[in-house]
Copies of this chain bind each other. A is one copy, B any other.
Amino acid sequence: MNLIIFSEKDVIANTASTVRIQLGGRQLDHLLSVHKAEPNSILRVGQLNGKLGQGRVVSINEQAAMLDVTLHQAPPTPLPLTLVLALPRPKMMRRIINSISMLGVKDLYLIHSYRVDKSYWSTPFLQPEALHEQLLLGLEQSIDTQLPNIHLRKRFKPFVEDELPLLCSNKRAMVAHPYNAQPCPPSSLEESILAIGPEGGFIPYEIDKLQEAGMQTIEIGQRILRVETAVTALLSRLFPVI
C-alpha cells in the first residue's frame, strides 16, 4: 500500500483547504502495523478518482484514524489504451485485474472466446466488489487514484461485430498473436486498442473476426508467456511510460 486512497464515505468534514477523513479496516491496520503512524505523522493520500496529496494524522487508535488531507497533485497519466482480454482462468483473475490497474489501463473489456471455459463467467472474482478490491490494490501499489472501467462481454460475436469496429476506429488497433504477425510497432502515446487471447490463444476464426473489425496481428517474440506476463510485456513495449 504505497498510497492511502479515501472516498466520499470516509469524509467527515470539509474546509476550503483541507478534508478531514476517518479510516478503519485494512487501511487502519496498515497505518498501525506498517507505518507505525502517530499523531502528526505525514502520509501519502489520494482521493478515489481525484487528486493526490498528503494527510496528517490527527488521532489514531485501534478503532479509527483521523487525518487532515490536502490534495494538490494530479494522478499519473492513464495509458491511452483500451485493453480487450479473453476472460482469464479464475485462479489468475485477481492478479491480472490487479496488474492491469497497477499498469494504468483505464478501459478493460473482458470477453468470451472459444478457449475460455463457460464456467469461468460464474466465478465470484467477477462480482463487482471483488473486482473493485483488486482494482484498488493495483492503484494503491502504483500511486494512482483513477479507477479503471471494466466491461464484461459474454458473447464473442456480437462484441466483435457490433462494438469492436467503433472501438478500433481512429486507434492503433492490434491483437497479440504470434503467427503471421507484424513485429510490435514502435512505442508511442497514440490512442490504442489491444486484444490478448486466452491460454492457447484465439482460434483462427476469432483472429479473422478481430482483423475484420480493424485489428492487426502483432508479436513480440517466439516465447509463449503467461497472460499476466504477456500483458505487462506488451504494454511496456507499446507505450513509452508505464
Quickly give the copy total for this chain.
Answer: 2
Chain B's closest residue to A219 (CB) is B241
Per a CB cutoff under 8 Å, which of B220, B221, B232 touches A229? B232
Chain B's closest residue to A239 (CB) is B221
Tell me which residues across on chain B come within 8 A of A237, comparing CB atoms.
Answer: 236-237
Tell me which residues across on chain B come within 8 A of A229, comparing CB atoms.
Answer: 99, 102-103, 232
A225-B102 CB under 8 A given contacts A220-B241, A233-B242, A236-B236: yes
Q: How many residues of A contact B (CB 8 A)?
A: 26
Q: Which of A203-242 contact B (CB under 8 A)?
A: 220-226, 229, 232-237, 241-242
A141-B103 CB under 8 A given contacts A232-B233, A242-B220, A242-B233: no
A241-B225 CB under 8 A given contacts A232-B232, A233-B236, A236-B232: no
Tell me which residues across on chain B come within 8 A of A226, comparing CB atoms.
Answer: 99, 102, 141
Q: Is A88 located at the chain interface by the 8 A CB criterion?
A: no
Tell me which residues across on chain B come within 8 A of A144, comparing CB atoms.
Answer: 223
Chain B's closest residue to A226 (CB) is B141
Per a CB cutoff under 8 Å, which of B221, B225, B233 touches A141? B225
Q: Is A54 located at the chain interface by the 8 A CB criterion?
A: no
Smallest CB-CB A-B distances: 4 pairs: A221-B241, A142-B223, A233-B236, A236-B236
| Known A141-B224, A220-B241, A233-B242; 11 more pairs at CB < 8 Å | A76-B222, A102-B226, A103-B225, A103-B229, A104-B223, A141-B225, A142-B225, A144-B223, A220-B236, A232-B232, A232-B236
Q: Is A2 located at the chain interface by the 8 A CB criterion?
A: yes
